[in-house]
Amino acid sequence: MAAPGERGAGGTAEEAFLTFYSEVKQIEKRDSVLTPKNQIERLTRPGASYFNLNPFEVLQMDPEVTDEEIKKRFRQLSILVHPDKNQDDAERAQKAFEAVDKAYKLLLDQEQKKRALDVIQAGKEYVEHTVKEKKKLLKKEGKPTNVEEDDPEVFKQAVYKQTMKLFAELEIKRKEREAKEMHERCWWVHNYCFMASCTGSDRERRKSRLKRKPSESENGRRTLRRVGMAVWTAGETSRQIQKGRKKKKTGPS
């Protein structure tokens, strides 16, 4: 029968082996993902336009990584998915490469990187608040306060889902804002161009209507008015020149 010390030593050795084995399996799992086929599939899967909004997710990195680690990861992924190295699937490889390149460039911009980190932090805080409220309710009901998010992996997945949702919502709002600004820009240019073709009282009425047009953005309105006025002024100048030419032609020789 082995002595207690020997059992302890054996147990320690066994635990060390199990830890080592677990790390090896994790490395194997990680490396299995780092193949051209898997990465191209991941970056072009259905819904990728929203999955790829999180630059850290595109590069498969934690938000705490250094800039040097980001550069290293970019080089690694860009080589894997480069179209020249995946000519049998060049179209999807090009899309995957563009996603990696966009994420990398975004993280090089410290302001853009901070915005991404803020969204991730907001997602984490939301999940933490939700967990806290769940526990509070369970305690109030006299039940055990254990929740599934107590598992680190479940918590991580919850943060991932919430973060992805926040990135998607911000992207939708951005597109809506751009569409609204484009519509407003077209409205101003169209109306100033029309006004340029009017004369006398018609032009004054048109100018009065333009002043009453509401705008979502004061800065955008001022910019668009400057553009519109430039168009209108150009029309005025053109008409004055044409009038001058007509006078010269009809005047005494």
DSSP, collapsed to helix, strand or coil, labels residue 60 as coil
Q: How far is CA 4 from the centre of its chain?
A: 59
Q: Per-residue pLDDT for the chain (253 aa), expressed as one digit of tens each?
A: 444 444 444 456 666 655 655 555 554 455 457 899 999 999 999 988 888 999 999 999 999 999 999 999 999 999 999 999 999 999 999 999 999 999 999 999 999 999 999 999 999 999 999 999 999 999 999 999 999 999 999 999 999 999 999 999 988 888 888 888 887 777 666 666 655 555 555 555 555 555 555 544 555 555 555 555 554 555 555 556 556 655 555 555 4
> Could you report how far apart the first and last alpha carbons of the chain are, in Å?
132
Instruction: Compute CA distances 232 → 12, 217, 247, 253, whole Å.
Output: 85, 22, 23, 34
For the purposes of burial, counting CB atoms within 10 Å of the CB of 11, is it exposed (0-12), middle (13-18) or buried (19 or more)?
Answer: exposed
Residues 181 and 60: their CA atoms lie apart, in Å, by 34
Cβ(191)–Cβ(228) under 8 Å?
A: yes
Characterize 31-45 residue by residue with b for buried, 16 or more Cβ atoms within 10 angstroms of its Cβ, and e for exposed: eeeeebeebbebbbe
Token look-up 């008015």 returns: 225
Q: pTM value?
A: 0.59
Domain spans of the chain? 180-247
Residue 28: the pLDDT is 45
Residue type, 201: S
